[in-house]
Amino acid sequence: MALKSRGADQVTFRKLYTSSILAECIQDKWIEAHEYKGFDSLNAYIKKNGRPLERLPFGAMRYSVHGISTVVDDDCMSTEVKDTMKYLILRPNCKLYTKWDDNGSLLF
């Protein structure tokens, strides 16, 4: 597998969505221009060929695929409030946020 030969031991595939809140922003334009059409096939391959390991706190299942820890995140824009942080966003101002679309989510 190409990832393994490059020294990867974990990978996350994240499906990106455009945001109606940030309509026509530079990020939306990039996502539209670089959309990966094979996401569903990739997800099916991982489920068929991977070994389920455990469910992560934000709901995604982690798999072992050819010895690589693999996660598929198809809900990266979720607005549901949960007890755990899913990820942090480093913005151009060098500050960390917990939400893509809310300046009030500044962590530090």
**Both tokens assigned to 44:** 């099916």
For position 106, what pLDDT does the model report?
A: 86
Give me the sign of the Cα torsion angle 56, 58, 59, 60: negative
* Contact status, residue 101 vs residue 21, Cβ threshold 8 Å: yes
**Boundaries of every domain in the chain:** 2-78
pTM above 0.75, yes or no: no
Is the pLDDT reported for residue 34 higher than 70?
yes
What percentage of residues in the chain have a pLDDT greater than 90?
24
In the predicted model, what is the mean pLDDT of the chain? Answer: 81
What tens digit of pLDDT does each residue of 73-97 get? 876 555 566 666 767 888 889 989 8
